[in-house]
Structure 1
Amino acid sequence: MKIKKMREKLTLRKDIRIGKLVLCIILLWVGSFVAQAQEAEEGLVPTLKIEEAKPSSDYFGLEIKWSIEKDLGSGISAKITYMDPEVYLAYVNYLAKKRNFSPQKKEEKTKEVINLLKEFLIFKVLLKHNDNPDYTKITNWKVFLVDDEGNKYSPKKFNEGKAELRRGFAGPYYGRISYLYFSKTNPDGKPILGENTRWMKIQLSQSSQTNEFKWEFFQQGKIQRSPFYFYPYLKISLVLLLIFLIFLVWITRPGKYIRNIKSI
């Protein structure tokens, strides 16, 4: 009888923990959607002066912040990242750590990237297709950079990588990374991306199909940003909290206590 009551009590505790766990999952998704909507409304803050770029080791957080992903149809999807100076320099730090660069090689790579950033607005494009690597070529598309005045610019140059077979949550796919380099100034010598730029977008066109990837920028005259601006970090924190709660449920599972009671 005593063991039965103990089991009922532990089962109730488990149900409460599961309820809390489900609530945390719901809060995670709601918080993520609210944060993304808030950031979309407020806009991003580009780094206009390269020397003001803050060194960071959080490349993936910055990549999430500056990336837009869309389904292009016919099994093709694209993720385009604006390589803001903070993003690109964080990528150099990540690459140096991953490939164990010597200090000299890291410095050379940093200088190379800074020289590119001084001359170009750079975008990284990841094209994906489930079956055919040829569909991941950036050369299959007409590409334009469009400013907030409606002016269109073609890339000055591009680097197309090799297609690689990768594994994702939905199964294997072919992915190819390409880099697009656009001039930082228009034909009049004015910067395409400046303090008063409201937005810019990349257009991928093929036949009659046009897909747009738009980055909206924060204007200083707007209200102060909410804490949700840093939604990638909020999302990561919530995920870590969720993992911690799952761990607590696991180590306090009722079966463990019942076995301990029987062994007494």
Structure 2
Amino acid sequence: MNKLFNLSGKRAIVTGGGSGIGRAISIALATNGAKVSIFDLNMDNAEAVALEITNAGGEAKAVKCDVSDEKSVKEAMDNNAIDILINNAGIAHIGNVSNTTPEDMDRIYNINVKGAYHCLREGVNLMKTKGGTIINVSSVAAHVGISDRFAYSMSKGAVHAMTLSVARDFLANNIRCNSISPARVHTPFVDGFLEKNYPGNEKEMFQALSSTQPIGRMGKPAEIGALVLYLCSDEASFVTGTDFPIDGGFITLNN
């Protein structure tokens, strides 16, 4: 019997693949046969994930890339044929429109929006002949108002809109483009945030953040990886131009 979600022979790029959600996505794709290029600024992290994958019998390599820099993206992709592009790299920001500085706005835009644009542009051009699959990592912040997330919400709303545009424009090239919108996911970033901002009260604040999801907990990185795996597989060949919330009911059940 054929194995479901088989990506054998597929060539994948995962931006921000060296930690957190990106690491989980990289592992999920490689475990199911994809040859994964892990794009990250932090080469120590990227190489650690690549080694983890190769030690488990998969294929992966670490590639240094600054998604905010067009030249860096071009050099990292290097005109190589790709089948799967995961636009995961991004940064967070806390603040409302009143206390978000122009510098804050530029930083978020350059990485979360322009970074996705750079990768989409290069990725689409490489996929035009044979087709491919693109997954953009958006957020629940693109769909509902979240306090003190002005710049971040702007950036993820842009990612959602770019997903729809790319999906529409490249149907004839057999390029599928979807996005996912996670709510809070328990990654090392969350632990570092709590340790920095709530020393001594990490456990209480972790529970408070977890309870904002109606399901009562944060997501697990591997759960995000599993959704991306499905969307990249042939089993999802009828799916394009769609955003998939993976949020423990955050968007629909918190109203």
Structure number with bigger Rg: 1
* Bin for the TM-score computed over the shorter chain: under 0.3
TM-score with structure 1 setting the length: 0.23
